Amino acid sequence: MDKIALYFHTVRFLRIKQVYYRLYYLFVYKFFSKKLKLTQGLNRPFIFLNYQSPPQCKPSFKGNTFTFLNLSHTFKDGIIDWEWMNYGKLWQYNLCYFDFLNQPTLSKQEGIDLIKHFIQNQKNLKSGIEPYPTSLRVINWIKFVSKYQINDLEITDAIYVQANHVSKRLEYHLLGNHLLENAFCLLHAGYFFKEKKFINLSIKILKNELDEQVLEDGGQFELSPMYHQIILFRVLEAIDLVRNNNHLTPDPSPAERGVKAPLNTPLSAGEGSGVRWSLEQKASKMLAWLNNITFPNGEIPLSNDSAFGIAPSTFELQNLAKSLNIQEKEIPLSTSGYRKYANQNFELIIDVGQISPDYQPGHAHADALNVVIYANSKPFIVDTGTSTYEKNERRQLERSTQSHNTVTFDNENQSQVWGGFRVGKRAKVDILNETKNSILAQHDGYRKFGVIHQRQLDISESQIIIEDMILGTNKTAIAHFHFHPEINFKIIGNILETDNCQIIFSNFEKIVVEEYLFAPQFNTLIPSRKVLIEFRHSLITTITTIN
């Protein structure tokens, strides 16, 4: 019965479109799917594209050795297994993204050889030709071919086949960032092949999805700072594409022309300047959110599924936006559910948002009212981070409430995170009062116990006061605070001291220090310490700087 209830509370948030396409693709793949043939001799006309900002990436390929997610593997004798799964599906996905084509150390011939190897081994492809990795690969191949002016029918044929494959397998069953990546792929392919059907489909998806996914305060609705950086990069990349290739246009459809248009017909306002204006508006808002959420040292909070070393950094995105003359807006944090308080000594971010989006919460954690604190511009109390996407105990732990700086009750999660990327019942968060330097919020994630967790924050120049209240019970709850690995502390009585901060706990019953593993990057675990404070009714945590 519990499992049935879990499935019910997971599925009930799905959109009808998601359910339809899950069933539709299941039927199509089972009865009508054929092996994707990348070489079909289509000989489609194409145009080398211009990009103002040359693609760059950190080196991940050298001498048949690939390094992704801090894990390396060498394929012997130059025979690459593009479906190699020993390090998990995310590693294999990265192998098939072909981001390494953009690394400065890769030669033209090396890139061609890798592309040809992939094409020649197409009969073995399965996960590698799923729409998501294919979308990223198409963009990387187009950029590489355009950079080196490579006129190779086998390669351009394979690019078209893959883009067309994406157009027929749009990830409506997942939505979110997956569908956006599909659309960005079709935009690049549409310009490259002057294919009107690709561009029209891309613009339709981008308009609908960006309007929904970019919130009023500029946050991307999956509420992961890392995925926000990824999507902002794609938006800036698309602006670069449209702005620097507006001399190109897809050929009109037969109904529109009767005669094939000249190759270099100018882009119409609706197809060119319209999508460019929309992308620039979204980029400006997204940049504002990213600037708000980023700490002065350039780091993002590791909230929800976030890790360092995956997305372009905030500084890199700021520079890219500046090169494209994207005007930054000043928009306060609001609809994304994050709040940031900063003064000379502290920066504090609190999560007072909902599980989002409700129909695709794959990157959400059970972290309502979680706080992250930097003291004197250095990480102090931190989110534990994300080290894996594998469906294992580590993944479950990193998404759990006990891995965040909030309160657990009866060893339960506030929201039912499960299955790696699923969420059942969800905590509902309400903001009860908010001023410039304080906030009072609560969530009902422990409602089955008749319990409400409230958290009050008050921030002054030299002090942070956190009051946690457990309403509706006389039983104990536990507040969790995870310290950065570089923070050394000692506890004497109710006082925790570091080199430059003092924390006083009031109204507690017991303090316990435990070790935990901090995950700043995928497959990177650093031993650190956390403090668990057991209390009834109310706990007051006062953080003060020491001069």
In whole angstroms, give the CA distance from residue 312 to residue 400. Answer: 27
The encoded tokens of residue 159 equal: 């690019």
Cross-strand pairs, 214: 220
Greater confidence (201 vs 53) lies with 201
pLDDT value, residue 262: 36
Can you tell me the mean pLDDT for 42-67?
Answer: 88
111: nearest Cα among 60, 136, 154, 145 = 145
- Residues with Cβ within 8 Å of residue 322, at least 6 apart in sequence: none
In whole angstroms, give the CA distance from residue 167 to residue 131. Answer: 9
Alpha-helical regions (H) of 294-410? 314-323, 393-399
- Label residue 357 by pLDDT band (50, 70, 90): very high
The encoded tokens of residue 207 equal: 């308009």
- Give yes or no for a contact between 93 and 57, defined as CB atoms under 8 angstroms apart: no
Cross-strand pairs, 203: none
Can you tell me the mean pLDDT for 119-144?
Answer: 95
Digit-coded pLDDT (tens) for 28-43: 777 766 678 888 878 8
pTM for this entry = 0.94
175: nearest Cα among 187, 183, 165 = 183
Give exposure, 107-131, as e/b (b: 16+ Cβ within 10 Å): eeebbbebbeebbebbeebeebbbb
484: nearest Cα among 452, 526, 436, 546 = 526
Greater confidence (250 vs 302) lies with 302
| Single-letter residue type at 115 | I
In whole angstroms, give the CA distance from residue 408 to residue 411. Answer: 6
Three-class secondary structure of residue 12 per DSSP: coil
Compute the residue count for the chain: 547
The DSSP secondary-structure symbol of 300 reads: P
Can you tell me the mean pLDDT for 422-433?
Answer: 97
Can you tell me the mean pLDDT for 354-373?
Answer: 97
| Rg of the chain on CA atoms, in Å | 25
Which region among 25-39, 267-281, 397-411 has the lowest average model confidence (pLDDT)?
A: 267-281
Burial of 73: CB neighbours in 10 Å, binned 0-12, 13-18, 19+: middle
Q: Where are the beta strands (DSSP E) in 256-388?
A: 338-342, 346-351, 371-375, 378-381
383: nearest Cα among 244, 255, 225, 533 = 225
- Give yes or no for a contact between 232 and 281, defined as CB atoms under 8 angstroms apart: no
Which region among 2-11, 53-62, 235-244, 528-537 has the lowest average model confidence (pLDDT)?
A: 53-62
Please state, as a whole number, how many other Cβ atoms lie within 10 Å of the Cβ of residue 339. 21
Angle at 322 between CA 317 and CA 324, to 5 degrees: 100
Can you tell me the mean pLDDT for 475-481?
Answer: 97
The encoded tokens of residue 428 equal: 């509902």
Report which secondary-structure segment, H or E, holds 130.
none
List, as one string, the DSSP characters of 40-86.
Answer: ------------SS-------EETTEEEETTEEEE-GGG---TT--T
Percent of all residues in the chain with a pLDDT value above 90, rounded to a whole number: 84
The DSSP secondary-structure symbol of 137 reads: H
Q: What is the mean pLDDT of the chain?
A: 92
Can you tell me the mean pLDDT for 13-27?
Answer: 90
Digit-coded pLDDT (tens) for 289-299: 999 999 999 99
Alpha-helical regions (H) of 194-245? 196-213, 225-244
Digit-coded pLDDT (tens) for 214-264: 999 999 999 999 999 999 999 999 999 999 997 655 444 443 333 333 333
The yes-or-no verdict on residue 196 having pLDDT over 50 is: yes
The yes-or-no verdict on residue 465 having pLDDT over 80 is: yes
The full 3-state SS of 337-349, as one line of letters, equals: CEEEEECCCEEEE
